[in-house]
Amino acid sequence: MITTFCLFFFTSIQVRAYFAQDLTSSEMVCYEEAGCYSQTDPWVSVLRPFPPPSPPEEVDVGFYLLTRNTEEGPVTNYKVKLNNRYEPIEESLRSLHYQSSKFATVFVIHGFTASINSTWMSEMAEAYLSRMEFIEDNHSEETPNLQKYIFQKIPGYASVMEEDVDANIFLVDWGKGANNASYLQTAANTRLVGFLISK
Ligand SMILES: *[C@@H]1O[C@H](CO)[C@@H](O)[C@H](O)[C@H]1NC(C)=O
Ligand SMILES: *[C@@H]1O[C@H](CO)[C@@H](O)[C@H](O)[C@H]1NC(C)=O
Ligand SMILES: CC(=O)N[C@H]1CO[C@H](CO)[C@@H](O)[C@@H]1O
C-alpha cells in the first residue's frame, strides 16, 4: 500500500516534470515529408506524457509487398522492399506487383519490441494468401471461413476475375522505432508510422 502510494507519488512528480519541460519547448514538431505532430491536448497532456515521435530516419519505416501472382506465375513468397521510403510510393508501386484491382490490400503492422524479423509477420501474410487460393477453389461451396466472409461483403464478389483473386499485402517494418527502451517513445512513434502508411 505504502509502496504503491510512493510509486504513484514519484510517477506523478516525474510526469509533471516531464510535462512542464515539454510545454516550454515547441508545441508542434514537424519532419519534412513525414508530417507535423501536435504536442498539445489531446495528444499530450498530464495523463499522456508522450514525447514527439522520433525523427523518420530513426523510426526507419519500410514496406515489404507480398502477392500471390507474379510474372513468373503464382507464388506466395514474393518480397520486395520499397526503395524510396518517404516519398509518395505510387512510383515505386508501379514497378512492383501492386494492383488496385486485386481483391484486397492489407497492411500487417507489428508493435512494441517487434520488427520485420518477427517471423509471424510473413507467416500471417502467407496464411492470408494461401487462404485466398482456398476460396478460389471453394467459393461456391458452403465453407464458413474468413475469406468467404470478406468476399460476401463485396458487391459482385462472385464475378471477381480469377487473376484478381490475390491481395497486396504490405508488411510494415518500423523495428528501429519499436525497440526504443522507452515505451512512451515507442508509443509516440506509432503516430509517424501511421502518417507514412497513409501516404
Ligand atoms: C530512443 O528515442 C530517442 C528519441 O528519438 C533517441 O534519442 C534514442 O536514441 C532512442 N533509443 C534507441 C535505443 O533507439
Ligand atoms: C533484422 O535482421 C537483419 C538481418 O539479420 C538485421 O540487419 C536487422 O538489423 C534486423 N532488424 C531489426 C529491427 O532487428
Ligand atoms: C477443389 C478444391 O481445391 N477443393 C478444396 C476445398 O477445400 C477443402 C478443405 O476444406 C480442400 O480439401 C479441397 O481440396
Contact 82, 153 (CB under 8 A): no
Pocket probe for ligand 2: among 54, 58, 81, 115, the residue whose CB has the most ligand atoms within 8 Å is 115
Model confidence, pTM: 0.67
Rounded CA separation 161/126 (Å): 21
The candidate with the shortest Cα–Cα distance to 61, out of 1, 101, 115, is 115
Return the beta strands (E) in 32-182 as ranges.
35-38, 62-66, 69-70, 73-74, 80-81, 104-109, 167-173
Q: How far is the CA of 79 from the centre of ligand 1 (A)?
A: 29
User: Which one-letter amino acid corresponds to residue 109?
Assistant: I
Element of type H or E holding 29: strand 28-31
**How is the chain split into domains, by residue range?**
2-52, 62-175
Pocket probe for ligand 2: among 117, 118, 179, the residue whose CB has the most ligand atoms within 8 Å is 117
DSSP class per residue in 96-118: TT--TTSSEEEEEE--TT--TT-
Give Cβ neighbours of residue 167 (< 8 Å, ≥ 6 apart): 67, 68, 102, 103, 104, 105, 106, 128, 129, 132
- Nearest ligand 1 atom to the CA of 51 is 4
Q: What is the pLDDT of residue 95?
A: 54
Q: What is the pLDDT of residue 17?
A: 42
Q: What is the pLDDT of residue 92?
A: 53
Kindly state if the Cβ of 137 falls inside 6 Å of ligand 3. yes
Kindly state if the Cβ of 130 falls inside 6 Å of ligand 3. no
Rounded CA separation 125/63 (Å): 13
- 105-127 burial, b at 16+ Cβ within 10 Å, e below that, comes to ebebbbeeebbbebeebbebbee
The residue contributing the CA closest to ligand 1 atom 8 is: 180
**Ligand at shortest distance from the CA of 173:** 2
Kindly give the confidence (pLDDT) of every residue in the chain, 199 residues in length, as a single tens digit, with 9 standing for 90 and above: 444 443 444 444 344 444 444 444 468 999 988 889 999 998 999 999 999 999 988 998 888 777 765 555 444 444 444 544 444 455 455 556 677 777 788 899 999 999 888 888 878 887 777 666 545 444 555 544 444 444 444 444 444 555 556 788 888 889 999 999 999 999 999 999 999 888 7
Pocket probe for ligand 1: among 18, 58, 60, 113, the residue whose CB has the most ligand atoms within 8 Å is 58
- Nearest ligand 1 atom to the CA of 177 is 14
Contact 132, 103 (CB under 8 A): yes
Q: What is the pLDDT of residue 191?
A: 95
Rounded CA separation 118/112 (Å): 11
